[in-house]
Amino acid sequence: MEEKELIPHLFRTEYQKIVSVLCFLFGIEHIEQAEDIVSDTFLSATESWSAKGVPDNPTAWLYAVAKNKTKNWLKRNSFFQEKLMTDLRYSTPKDEEITLDLSPQNITDSQLAMMFTVCHPSIPSESQIALALNLLCGFGAQEIADAYLTNKEVIYKRISRAKERLKEAGIKIQQPTLAEINERLDAVLKTLYLLFSEGYYSISGNAVLRKELCVEAMRLNYLLVENVHTNKPAVNALLALMCFHASRFDARMDERGEVVLYQDQDETLWNRELIERGEYYLHEAAATRNITKYHLEAGIAYWHTHKENSPEKWNNILDLYNQLLILEYSPIAALNRTFALARARSKREAIIEGEKLQLTDNYFYYSLLGNLYTDVDDHKALKHYEKALTLTHSAADKALMTKNIEQLRRRLGN
């Protein structure tokens, strides 16, 4: 990997790890100092590697420089170092220096602690996601704004307010107690679910960013699975869901960046290893009577890794959607159920159910109706696709709707 690619890659993979360890050491009230130290570390890497070349072990180089910069910062702030040494959380004797522990175990512990801190109930959910993307995944305000199709100032304010809320409330970054795990795990899972969904269903045109959002959500979820106290059935169910969806990531877009519908996807592009991992985690998730939305959505995603259009497949998917809507209704889940209803029973029955939803400001609503009316009433199908075209901002979706419209117009002789 060339230097111009290596530093951004390491920034993505290592920045948030070192920040988490420093925040765990310093406390959330000194988060800016932690970020300054890590940013300065990467600036040193850029300058040194440009002049002297990339070291044999770039990650070890970064860790060594981060440790030295932390040591120097603490020497310049002797009062702060004294405060850390008197904190009961640290056992460093006063005649020894505090060192930055960047061992794999401490990185994992720090990121787990940070995850539960970010998802503190005092922070609004949209700010939790922005802060998680920033602190746990290393995304800058501009990148987060690009993913959410908003401006950098909005995201910057969300992150700043969330940090201030944590400081004002005096929230400690520490390993969550069993009570805190029980209290906050739902919020943590929701944040990871929304993070993954933003990557998988994002209308952002940045395909690389979309994949990185998914990868980061899966990495953080895996930390929960690996911890004995957070390895719960719902955690496994969510990771199974992510694995199943991620397995089809490369088949969802063609080489021109256009959307490939499920029925047209090249099955050879599906990642069989991820499917097998998903099946493993789904099996682990089954060890409970408390079925969550993640269990049901993972089950739906599991059946979508079977390409054959058998009655068993679509009846199972329809049944899972029925359970999901009873457990936690959402318009999008109801919309997706309509597609399953068409495959399990008939398009006409699905049209009746779909039109009841009246999601008249939703692109997917009109796109689905266009699909359902095709071969039933092509004139209505055309009108729905044309309406869908006016509602989407995604270049890939615009291309798909234009293709469908042109096919129908040719068929109708327009």
The residue ranges of every structural domain in the chain are: 1-102, 308-356, 359-414
Does residue 176 register a pLDDT over 60?
Answer: yes
Write down the pTM of the prediction: 0.85
Give one word for 53, left, alpha or beta, with left for phi > 0 and alpha for psi -120 to 50. Answer: left
Averaged pLDDT for residues 169-181: 85
pLDDT of residue 96: 57
Average predicted confidence (pLDDT) for the chain: 88
Does residue 55 register a pLDDT over 70?
Answer: yes
Give one word for 375, left, alpha or beta, with left for phi > 0 and alpha for psi -120 to 50. Answer: left
Q: What is the per-residue pLDDT across 283-315, written as a single tens digit (0 to 9) for each?
A: 999 999 999 999 999 999 999 999 888 889 999
Q: Cα separations (Å) of 120 from 132, 235, 267, 407? A: 11, 18, 41, 51
Termini Cα distance of the chain = 52
Does residue 206 register a pLDDT over 70?
Answer: no
Q: What is the per-residue pLDDT across 313-370, written as a single tens digit (0 to 9) for each?
A: 999 999 999 999 999 999 989 999 999 999 999 999 999 999 999 999 999 999 999 9
